[in-house]
Structure 1
Amino acid sequence: MRIGAHVDSVDPLAEAAARAAEAVQFFLADPQGWKAPQPRPDADRLRSADVDRYVHAPYVINVATRNNRIRIPSRKLLLAHANAAAAIGAKGLIVHGGHVNAGDDLAVGFDNWRKTFAYAADSGGFQLPVLIENTAGGDNACARRLDALARLWDVVGEYEVGFCLDTCHAHAGGEELLGLVDRIKAITGRIDLVHANNSRDAFDSGRDRHDNLDGGTIDPELVVALVRAADAPVIVETPGGVEGQRADITFLRDQLGTGASAA
């Protein structure tokens, strides 16, 4: 089980070394913008590194919406990020599940997800696993509640899509962490990555605010139990910079009885 952190994108390998991390996650472009990622001058170094790489797609992407001005650019940008992530040897591209607008049928959102994978297939397909991440808020979200996730997977499961489980999002989204891995795997058949984060806000608050593992409103032992059950790579997206994230990584390793293979 390789454990790492979400880091600044300027020099991810240096960030990994500072945290004794075996994996890193980072953005390839402005997470709040629509610009496509550019080739990285350190691509060769990243591809050959003994540190697993994950790329997080921009937050603005929402392939589920009926709004053409957002949905169509989202499809194109998602594919562009997938291609750029594959170019650096990333193990997966994480993207939020998205949502439809108030009053819209969620079924439209699920079908728009299907069309996203069909669009990619027409363009040669995604060159690495796309990992849909559960989200914390929104009554019209495609991947907040497990009942919605099941409907989404009924539509996209044939495309071998992966799943990223965020512990803060699950807690804030109103899903109990105890036994959650089994309930998710009954739907998706897989968990490819865990975002191990505590939550600053209460259960079912709908608020996406991460905290360090020894803080927040989630019992840290619940996070550890979920990580152990998932048996998947782990990324912490917690505050505190190098010191805060390194402490969270160390805490997980100590609790799980694992060592740092890339420290």
Structure 2
Amino acid sequence: MQRRLRSAKLTTVHDDAFVCSSITKKENIDETKGKKRKRPANKSRPERKKARTTSKSIQEDHDVSKDDDVRAEKSNQSNSKFGSSRGMNTDDVMKTEPEVQVDVKSVPMKAETKAGTKPLYVGAHVSIAGGLENAVFNAVSIGANCFALFLCSQRQWKKKPLSEETVEAFRTACEKQGFSSDSILPHGSYLLNLGSPDEETLAKSRDSLIDEMSRCQRLGICLYNFHPGSTCGKISVEESVKRIATGINLAHAETEGVTAVIENMCCQGSTVGGKFEELRDIINMVDDKSRVGVCLDTCHAFAAGNDLRTKEGYERMMSEFDETIGLEFLKAIHLNDSVGDVGCHLDRHENIGKGKIGLQAFKYVMNDPRLRGIPMILETPGNVDDATEIVKLRGLAEF
């Protein structure tokens, strides 16, 4: 199987917006067109060097994740490095249970479900190169029965209008391949910061949220996933939470039938949403609670301090989520192992069973009846292809 965008490595730079993406690739590929972009001819080498130096200095001035959440393009993280955990006592880490071994060759691509049970949705973030409808075919090619995608370029505010031809092609592909509206989880722009202290960035973020949720509505997609935002260290978490909720309310007023799915974060720097209480407070301020929910990222939850490596730890996390937010608001899962240890506050995804979380925790996830019927999306590095990881995960399911 041909790998997609395997040479991509994305880093992020914090400015008044939540995240500005700085990308280094062997081939710089336009996500929406699949074409190489030429380097501007009017910049000399010293000028380019100066620009890189400036970008680096901005990055060092702000406390954001270097990778943020772009495993959508399965970045090669062979050179990812991380520091020691903040405030983590390794003596307090719970003893993990034995690793689960799975013979991926013996597991069918499509796991069957017993009568009366909801389907087990397992998929990955797939490319839209060549057209949005290609995301559907890319999902089919890896044996996924759900998928995530970008609706447009995630690295710039200005977006190309969505044509009727594209809408029709996407809807037709989904119908023919059997993807329901609740099995597709678009990922929001990395520039989006609904909690920004900067008024210009805040206005752009709100407009972008409305635009992308409107695209979901036209495409027949009922879920839209995004990172909540950041205080940028300039306002209180409480004020940022209010701004995020207001942005969701404004988007709800301009759209119909699309649920805003807020992703939990890893408590890194000034990001909002690493604590379940922060997600709860956002939801409490949303007027239409039937159209708001949470995407639970396993790597983010682990890095935030939830030790899901044992059955006891996993159930503790799920109970805390239910008591704080409510399981009725759980709309999706991001399936990622973690490079960093529990409580490290680092957003570094790893392939399933290859990181500090380990395979046993994903067996709990795959066999949790509370998670049936919601999309579970891989965002892991390109060291292992998506098809293999989907088979591995399905092999953990016992019902």
> TM-score, normalized by length of structure 1?
0.88
Q: CA deviation at 1:211?
A: 1.3
Query: Which structure 2 residue ranges, 5 or more long, are not aligned?
Result: 1-119, 309-313
Q: Pairwise mapping of residues 1-263 of structure 1 onto structure 2 (< 5 A)?
A: 1-10=120-129, 11-36=134-159, 38-39=161-162, 41=166, 42-48=169-175, 49-51=177-179, 52-123=183-254, 125-156=255-286, 158-160=288-290, 161-177=292-308, 178-179=314-315, 180-189=317-326, 190-229=329-368, 230-231=370-371, 232-240=374-382, 244-257=385-398
Q: CA deviation at 1:246?
A: 1.1
Q: Deviations over 1:223-242 (max 9, x none)?
A: 2313433413211111228x
Cα 1:76–1:120 change in 2 (3 A) is same
CA–CA distance in structure 2, aligned partners of residues 65 and 175 of structure 1: 27
Conserved 8 A contact 1:99-1:138: no
Q: Deviations over 1:78-109 (max 9, x none)?
A: 11101112222223100112121214211111
CA–CA distance in structure 2, aligned partners of residues 217 and 88 of structure 1: 38
Conserved 8 A contact 1:79-1:126: no
CA–CA distance in structure 1, aligned partners of residues 363 and 160 of structure 2: 34
Q: CA deviation at 1:32?
A: 2.2
Q: CA deviation at 1:133?
A: 0.4
Cα 1:67–1:126 change in 2 (3 A) is farther
RMSD: 2.1
Conserved 8 A contact 2:209-2:251: no
AA matched with 2:126: V
Query: Which structure 1 residue ranges, 5 or more long, are not aligned?
Result: 259-263
Please give the secondary structure, in 2, of the residue aligned with 1:223. Answer: helix
Question: Rg bigger for which structure?
Answer: 2
Choose 244-253 or 28-37, whichever is displaced more: 28-37
Please give the secondary structure, in 2, of the residue aligned with 1:156. Answer: coil
Q: CA deviation at 1:157?
A: 7.0
Conserved 8 A contact 1:64-1:71: yes
Conserved 8 A contact 1:100-1:109: yes
Aligned residue pairs total 256
Q: Deviations over 1:117-166 (max 9, x none)?
A: 3322443x354111000112434332112232233333237533111000
Conserved 8 A contact 2:350-2:381: yes
CA–CA distance in structure 2, aligned partners of residues 32 and 14 of structure 1: 24
Q: Deviations over 1:36-55 (max 9, x none)?
A: 35325223324424123221
> TM-score, normalized by length of structure 2?
0.60
Conserved 8 A contact 2:298-2:333: yes
Q: CA deviation at 1:182?
A: 2.2
Please give the secondary structure, in 1, of the residue aligned with 2:225. Answer: strand
CA–CA distance in structure 2, aligned partners of residues 126 and 171 of structure 1: 34
Conserved 8 A contact 1:171-1:204: yes
Identity, % of aligned positions: 22
Q: CA deviation at 1:184?
A: 1.2
CA–CA distance in structure 1, aligned partners of residues 362 and 157 of structure 2: 33
Cα 1:150–1:23 change in 2 (3 A) is same
CA–CA distance in structure 2, aligned partners of residues 226 and 85 of structure 1: 28
